[in-house]
A = this chain, B = another copy of it.
Amino acid sequence: MSQEYQKTNNTDFSVIGKSAQMIDGTAKVMGTAIYADDIKLPGMLYGKILRSPHAHARIVRIDTSRAMALLGVKAIITGKDTPVKYGILPIGQDETALAVDKVIYVGQEIAAVAAITEEIAEQALDLIDVEYELLPAYLNADAAMAATDIFIHNDRPKNIEKEYHHNFGDIEKGFAQSDLVLEDKFSFPRITHAAMEPHSAVANYDASGKLTVWTSTQTPHYVHRGLAKALQMHPSKVRVIKPFVGGGFGGKSETFSCDVCSSLLSKLTGKPVKITFTREEVFYAHRGRPDQSVHIKLGMRKDGKITSVYVKTIQDGGAFCSYGVVTILYSGALIAALYDIDNIKFDGYRVVTNKPACGPMRGHGTVNVRYSFEVMLDRLAIGLGLDPAEVRLKNMLKPNTRTVNDLRVTSYGYKECVEKATEHSGWAEKRDKLPFGRGIGIGGSHYVSGAANSIVRGRMPHSNVSIKIDIDGGVSVFTGTAEIGQGTETVQAQIVAEELGLPLERIRVIAADSDITPVDLGSYSSRVTFMAGNAALFAARDVKNQLLRHAAEVLGESPEHLICKNERIYVEYDRERSITFREALISALEHSGTVIGKGAYTPPSESQGGRFKGAGVGPGVAYSYSASVADVSVNPETGQVRVNKIWVAHDCGRALNPLAVEGQVEGSVWMGLGQALQEEQIFTPEGLTLNPSLLEYKSPGAIESPDIETIIVESIDPEGPFGAKEAGEGSLAGVIPAIANAVYDAVGVWITSLPITPEKILKELNKQKAEQKKK
């Protein structure tokens, strides 16, 4: 496969780099967008799921006879109907759509009912009789790891899903060379994505044996695989269609019980079946960020150079593997890709507990360790009398290097990010100079532009895009990517428009229908602009080359001297000679019919290697960088934190759509804000989620939003399409420590457990007062 990366320095762009309204925005704004739950098929039934009230229990008996007798109930399935295990990772095939033999968390699926109305289905749930035999429930990592006989999964002794132990350089030597070494323990609560749209699936298993599922997902291809496995169907008989999706943030990156149960119920009844989760059920589906402890030890020389870092972290991953093995891997492996550190040791434990399964959430794996690191960095800097921003600049990696653990860093704009963020925020004038109760803090972060290794086996391309152009002159871009609000369709349209020299409105994106669109691994790990963008670019080049051959004939010129621009094809060195795009198109159509091209992108093998390849996933194919500065006010009487403004300088390679980059950065800021100050899932001692609603879970709304200033830094990645890389997640992880460090700057206390609540601040302030009194 031809993978000629964009090496040109040509920046005479017509579409790229210009802010474009989302091409799917109108339908969303006008209310005509069709989401999964909007779909109504003739004869459709409604499905509801009965869920476990116990965190850990054997199912002794399920009796569905009373429920089946209810008028309007068409089918009921239980664990015996869903025996086949599936899961997102090859090594994590541990889920069934309905619990088989035992339940392992409160909220786990036990039975599913299809009925002619939602109300009847709901009513039927109450008529299903289940007898349980309780088992000891492990509701945190410590309890789970202490188990001696009864385990949650029989093949996970000590309830440990995965351990990772890395050791690069010599940390003891590093600590010995340090002028200051600090260590501390940080703790993080379980938080969730809180996407506006709940999970929803409509399945239609038709009489010919073909299953079509419309589902709200970030990963249509993985759902396709998951359904084929769970239902034991030939994958070509399964069609997965992604309608409009109302947000994902990582929480819709797998096959969910609504997909499998609606499909099975449709097969049983011969009718389409819809299952839409309630908000409470979304909390049970979860797949959010795990409860996590981080023990970190960091050493620094008095010139600010980081000498050594040791991290031990334990993640309470909940009941299933999900992406957990990747979460714990990212927590360790990616420590090395932000700063230049010679000595890194990491001990990571992913633990199975009797709570809803955790999974990937925006900033996947990196956020909590990054918080711990960035806060410790400030503490060391302050301890050594250094400026925290200066300290960060002291520890820069270089572009085009390999990190100590063999990660391949190509473009690297972090230095410029720190410089720009401090400059724009007036850092030098404010840091340590603001009055008590007002502070400024900085945090750095980074993220992958997609995983270099795919979850699936084999060297299958990660992204495929095809293009068709017919006599109407419209360019149809077929992509399996999942637009989840982040702008993937717009950015692919921009790339194709730029390459073909056409206005954006001439491009239409056909997305995410497994029968129609080529495979793309999906919208996760910020891979889409980079990978599908490259595939779209290669597909556009393929059709362009076909058209240029015809244009070359007409113009009596060699194709390599031709360029596409302004709906014409020009001789590059003699712009007087040109033909219209349409003339070339018609010539191509007459010669060989509909113009069709394709492009595929597989990360280069040199990015797939490295010493962290394990588990079928790998480190990033490129890294983006971000520096956040927060200006906060802390009321020392109440402990209340108000974030006044956040500056984020983000290195996204090249901003293909600056408006979209700003949108992504702002979204990351809001999500970081929530984790920093408010969000936390709370459980009863029995494992019941206490706050499974948006009212109680308290994500920040418009009222809490600070002023946000986004500064785009463009490092022009050599392999990204037109130099682009990640923009959707990286900023998040820097925002949270920036706030924490600003809180310290304001009132002089360090908060080591999130969220930074007024109670915790007051407690630390009181401790501070008590100590001051002692002196």
Interface positions of A (Cβ within 8 A of B)? 1, 23, 26-27, 29-32, 34, 38, 40-43, 204, 206-210, 224, 228, 234-239, 270, 458-461, 464, 466, 468, 470-476, 478, 505-506, 508, 510, 514-516, 518-519, 535, 586, 589-594, 596, 598-600
Contacts and interface: CB of A to CB of B under 8 A. Distances in A.
A561 B692 CA distance: 64
Given A236-B473, A474-B236, A518 B590 contact: no
Nearest to A27: B206
A506 B1 contact: no
A478 B515 CA distance: 10
Nearest to A34: B42
B236 A506 contact: yes
A250 to B, nearest CB: 24
A178 to B, nearest CB: 48
A235 B208 CA distance: 36
A599 B590 contact: no
Contacts of A26: 206-208
15 contacts: A1-B591, A1-B593, A26-B208, A32-B42, A40-B40, A228-B472, A458-B586, A458-B590, A461-B589, A468-B478, A470-B519, A476-B515, A476-B516, A594-B600, A596-B598
B589 A593 contact: no
Contacts of A234: 473
A238 B471 contact: no
A646 B468 CA distance: 47
A476 B210 CA distance: 14
A249 to B, nearest CB: 26
B518 A468 contact: yes
Contact of A508 (B34, B515, B535): B515
A393 to B, nearest CB: 42
Given A42-B31, A591-B1, A472 B596 contact: no
A597 to B, nearest CB: 8
A369 B661 CA distance: 69
Given A234-B473, A237-B474, 4 more contacts: A27-B206, A235-B471, A476-B516, A594-B600
Contacts of A474: 235-237, 515
Given A474-B236, A516-B510, A535 B593 contact: yes
B235 A518 contact: no
A237 to B, nearest CB: 8
A518 B207 contact: no
Contacts of A506: 236
B535 A464 contact: no
Nearest to A538: B593
Nearest to A458: B590
Nearest to A593: B600
B472 A518 contact: no
Given A472-B235, A508-B236, A593 B598 contact: yes
B27 A460 contact: no
Given A236-B472, A236-B506, A472-B235, A594 B30 contact: no
Contacts of A41: 32
Nearest to A459: B590
A460 B471 contact: yes
Contacts of A599: 593
Contacts of A237: 474, 505
Interface centre among A30, A209, A472, by most chain B C-beta atoms within 10 angstroms, is A472
Contacts of A508: 210, 236, 239, 515
Contacts of A459: 590
A518 B206 contact: no
Nearest to A508: B515
Given A458-B590, A598-B593, A519 B471 contact: yes
A208 B596 CA distance: 26
A112 to B, nearest CB: 22
A593 B461 CA distance: 6
Contact of A1 (B206, B210, B592, B596): B592
Contacts of A519: 470-471, 594
A472 B221 CA distance: 10
B518 A593 contact: yes
Contacts of A472: 224, 228, 235-236, 238, 514
B236 A594 contact: no
Nearest to A467: B596
Nearest to A514: B472
Nearest to A208: B26
B32 A206 contact: yes
A478 B594 CA distance: 11
Interface centre among A32, A458, A594, by most chain B C-beta atoms within 10 angstroms, is A594
A592 B586 contact: no
A140 B727 CA distance: 72
Contacts of A206: 26-27, 30, 32
Contacts of A38: 42
Instruction: Report, nearest first, the 4 A-B pairs whose CB atoms are least far apart.
Output: A593-B600, A236-B474, A518-B594, A235-B472
Contacts of A31: 42-43
Nearest to A518: B594
Interface centre among A26, A270, A592, by most chain B C-beta atoms within 10 angstroms, is A592
Nearest to A472: B235
A253 B235 CA distance: 37
B596 A207 contact: no
A208 B466 contact: no
A38 B40 CA distance: 11
A590 to B, nearest CB: 5
A599 B514 CA distance: 22
A23 B478 CA distance: 25
Contact of A27 (B208, B238, B592): B208
A693 to B, nearest CB: 27
A464 B594 contact: yes
Contact of A235 (B40, B236, B473): B473
A31 B32 CA distance: 27
